[in-house]
Homo-oligomer: A and B are copies of this chain.
Amino acid sequence: MTSEPAPTVRRAERKRAQQADEMRADIIDAAFAEFAERGYHATTIGDIAKRLGISSGSFYNYFKNKRDIVDHVLDMLMGQMLAALQAENAPEAAQDAEQYAAQALRIAGAVDAIFDADRRVPQILLFEATSIDPELTARVMELFDIAGHFGVAYLTNGVERGFLRPDLNIPATADAITGMILAVAIRSLRSNLAATERRTLREAVVATMLQGIMR
């Protein structure tokens, strides 16, 4: 007996769903502001709610629990990362050394842009997430692994096309590259670098890396 909902009902539903999404986004934002300020463990649901002017109970209409928020952000982040590594930035896209170098810089810039859009994201990712619970730690480690796999793909492309040293220990080098990204991210957070400083830092690191791996 469940008939098709009338169009007006549909519209109302859509609107409601949209409002819910906005609220969810607001909550994530407030949560991250608090997490970044005082750390995940020291932040209470009440802190988040108060910042938004909602009741603590309302929180649970939008998220299953406190750590669910971090999961959502991890999802977002993962999506942005994968999106940044498509098309001209895909592992097999670079066809010669020059393109390879340009690609490396583009990717470094894209990662920087993602982190710079909300510095609280890397902050929490790097400094809090692993302490929340084993599953979340596993997810972060997975990110590390994914980074490693991408690194392997890029290096393999370079070796196969012949502009990287053929004797490269590819997995080891991939990890080293992930580490460099990590270090640059930490330095950026830590020293609160301006965009131009971050660019210089990026270029220097990419240059050293390329020199280290090029044939």
> Which chain A residues have a beta carbon within 8 Å of chain B's beta carbons?
39-42, 126-128, 130-134, 137, 141, 144-145, 148, 165, 168-169, 172-173, 175-176, 178-184, 186-187, 190, 200-201, 203-205, 207-213
Contacts and interface: CB of A to CB of B under 8 A. Distances in A.
A137 B137 CA distance: 18
A144 B126 CA distance: 13
Contact of A175 (B175, B201, B211): B201
Q: Which 10 A-B pairs have the closest CB atoms?
A: A179-B183, A212-B212, A169-B204, A131-B131, A172-B204, A127-B130, A179-B179, A208-B212, A179-B180, A176-B180
Contacts of A205: 172-173, 175-176
A215 to B, nearest CB: 10
B169 A175 contact: no
A186 B147 CA distance: 13
Contacts of A165: 211
12 contacts: A127-B137, A141-B190, A168-B204, A172-B208, A173-B208, A175-B184, A175-B186, A176-B204, A176-B209, A179-B182, A179-B184, A180-B183
